[in-house]
Amino acid sequence: METRSAAAKKKKLFFCKENEHSPDHHNNIDRITELPDAVLHHILFLLPIKTVAQTSVLSKRWRSLWSSFPDLDFTTLNPFPKPCSSSKSHSLNCKESDFITQVLNNRDKHSDIRILRFRARLSFSRLNGLIRLAIRHKVQVLDVEVFTEDYFNFPRCVIASDSLRVFKLKSRRPGFRLPPSSVMTSGFRSLQSLSLSRISLCNQPSLSDMFSESSFLLLKKLSLDTCFGLKHLRVGCRALQDLTLENCFELQGLDVSGSKLERLRIAKCFDGYIEKSWVKIDAPRLGVVLWEHNALSDNICIENLSYLHKASIGLLHEDISVAKLQSVSNLFSALSLAHCLTLESNCIENCSYGVREAFSVHSDEVPVEVFPPCYKYFCILLFYFYFYFFYGIVSNAFNKTLMCFYKNYIQQKSSEQKEMPNRDTFPHEENDLYMHGNFFCVQILSNNNYFAVYLHQFSNLKSLELHTGFKKNNVPGLASIFRSCPMLHTLILNIINDFKTERRQWNKDLWEMSNSEEEKYWESQTLNLKLFLHHLKIVKILGFLECENEVSLAKFLLKHGKALEEMILSTGHCKARHSLQRQKIRSQMMGFSWASSNAKITFH
């Protein structure tokens, strides 16, 4: 007699055989579920964390995949909360942190976490609890962005972790404090990448030597952002390959050394209003140097850059002393071996002033207005006022001091403007400072007070990108840079258009281009730019508005560029009433004399 279970098996086998002969048999097979766990985990990683969690209700198989899912990215739950103290946003983020805690607690005990990312507004106790849970699951990559009500201490549980490879800690407000240097350097035995943002280092001078040769033996990438109280820093980790330092406004001294360092980025750093600031860099394998929007130091010493491939220079606008002038020369000298170079517009403007006396093309130009000392300090106070007001910790005394200073400044400027000539005769330096804080790099190579800046030959340079306002006084600076690049292949000129500054439009019907000052100047430089013109192949001008300076340069390069292959002029969108004028100018430019038979012009 056939049992009931045997009959059920027989019936199931019968239906399986029937399905094999069915034409839809192959369409009904669940092939995704049968994939290996590693493949399914990779697919799920491409989905938001909430969607991944919802798959756990499909079956035991998917529930198991969720409990062992190694890459937990909770940043997709909600955008980061605004810095407000509403109870609604606070309770919402408590729910989020509770959800993260629940996910970590319900994980398979034998499944390690590969990546954990979250951002939330929470207390230090909740933050510390979440990090402890992650360390317990042997997390390898921990990326945390938090918003707390008060300063908090660096979570020490991460220091003793043997599994942690990458650690990123960013405080949105107000910041965190580090433990003593001896504690920090005693752990992190497996750490390869460290990123810290918004650190309070007040009254902790020992932390300036935290990244010495004997600490963080496996660290390859280091990023420090917004370090309050950091005045001196020495970085010499043996395995370090990538170093980023950003928004360290109080920095006075920087010493970087490393035999394996390949990339260095310093942005918005240094106190430009103190004396005896210094920079020392010794990295023989350094291939990329990004020096962006930094105040000038009195002493810059950069050595052993024989492997340098890419460099970018941008400096803040400030008055230059003799010591800082020499630092500029040292900086350009150190980067002269680069193959690809980007110069922000302030470099060019000061270069132009520097060679103006030597070639004396511009004669009746009113000198550039020198900012009164109170202006730069006002900018500093205004910056700190905005900074502290945004984060809600400005004091009443500071408010009163700033308001008094502002009133005195306005009175002084009002009295000065009564005695000054027409403002239209002055270059609009204020707009440059406001819109483009990196303009000072161009100005250094243009100012006649700074003619001592010597541009070394960039003999290896193949690609050059220049950012400039392209005013009348920038032309000599551009020529000075071109002379220093005899082997240049590609030139990218990014024109920063300040529409408050009047620029003369080119009009062939009103004057002959050959009689303009710019045209005469460029023609006088033909012999000096002989090597440059014989090697230049590609020219790209962004922000081309058919003004006299721009057309003069384009005409000169077409007329003497014997190796020129392509000139791209990007004008952007224009109003309908200007399109006819542009078409007329473009047709006239096509009639210029061309030295290269292979050259072509493209308008974008």
Please list the rounded mean pLDDT of every run of 10 residues in the chain (604 residues): 60 56 58 86 90 90 92 82 47 70 88 93 90 95 92 92 96 90 90 96 82 93 95 95 96 95 95 85 96 89 91 78 78 91 70 42 34 43 44 43 46 44 33 37 57 72 90 83 94 80 54 67 93 96 84 91 93 61 74 87 86
Give the pLDDT of residue 8: 60
Please report which residue ranges of 79-119 form alpha helices under DSSP H.
87-105
Give the pLDDT of residue 433: 30
Give the pLDDT of residue 86: 44
Give the pLDDT of residue 571: 79
Give the CA count within 13 Å in the CB-facing half-sphere of 205: 2
Write the CA distances from 52 to 23, 44, 68, 80, 117, integer angstroms: 33, 6, 12, 21, 15
Quick one: tokens of 290? 């990004």
Give the pLDDT of residue 368: 33
Give the pLDDT of residue 446: 60
Asked whether 469 and 432 are in contact (CB, 8 A), the reply is yes
Q: What is the 8-class DSSP label of residue 57?
A: G
Give the pLDDT of residue 281: 96
Asked whether 108 and 68 are in contact (CB, 8 A), the reply is yes
Distance CA 451, CA 428 (A): 22
What are the sequence ranges of the domains in the chain? 440-498+517-603
Write the CA distances from 209 to 196, 216, 256, 430, integer angstroms: 16, 12, 11, 39
